[in-house]
Amino acid sequence: MKVLRLHATGDLRLHDENEPLPDRDECLLRVKAVGLCGSDVHWYEEAGIGDAQLRQPLVLGHEFAGIIESGNQQGQHVAVDPADACRQCRYCEEGNPNLCDNMRFAGHGVVDGALREKLCWPQALVYPLPDETHLPACHSDGAKRHCGRQVAGNPSFSTIRIQSAFETAKKRDGLKVVIEP
């Protein structure tokens, strides 16, 4: 399957990698739409964001929707929560998983994100959408409605197209680019 990795500032490369296998609490997703967020643009421009620096080639993209390809929910369209809290630290136990000490966040640090054809993500963090939802359209719509962002077209999945999407997102603050792998 195709996987896009950031190797250094502005250096995105398309790889051919094996499909991931879901763990017991995970589902396999076919990614259908990815939005480029301001934090993705930081990674792209600076090979890091805040304290986090690029340590290994990273798959960006944490705003995404897809279709489940494993288990009994196969075929279900879903929106995905990219923040995977540990559910064990004191913050999680206090009911504040957003402050989790051991957060895994898609497309951040050493946790690969969604700019790839398929990924595995915890079943508990995927949210069913109506079957008739056109996923890229719903993603663009969500971006417009909830983030007040403008939405550009849907560049297809290739290094050049995604590179140019990043360049566009970089130049026009507040622009959201939705990519269809």
Which residues sit at the interface with Zn ion, rule CB under 5 A?
Answer: 37, 85-86, 89, 92, 100
Contact criterion met (CB below 8 Å) for 75 and 68: yes
Residue 149 in 3-state DSSP? Answer: coil
Task: Give 77 or 108: the residue with its C-beta nearer to Zn ion.
Answer: 108
Task: Give 58 or 92: the residue with its C-beta nearer to Zn ion.
Answer: 92
- To which residue do tokens 């967020």 refer? 37
Q: How far is the CB of 41 from Zn ion (least distance, A)?
A: 10
Task: Give 37 or 79: the residue with its C-beta nearer to Zn ion.
Answer: 37
Alpha-carbon torsion angle 114, 69, 28, 68, nearest 10: 60
Q: How far is the CB of 42 from Zn ion (least distance, A)?
A: 10
Q: How far is the CB of 93 from Zn ion (least distance, A)?
A: 8
Q: Which residue is nearest to Zn ion (CB)?
A: 37
Distance, CA of 108 to CA of 158 (rounded, Å):
21
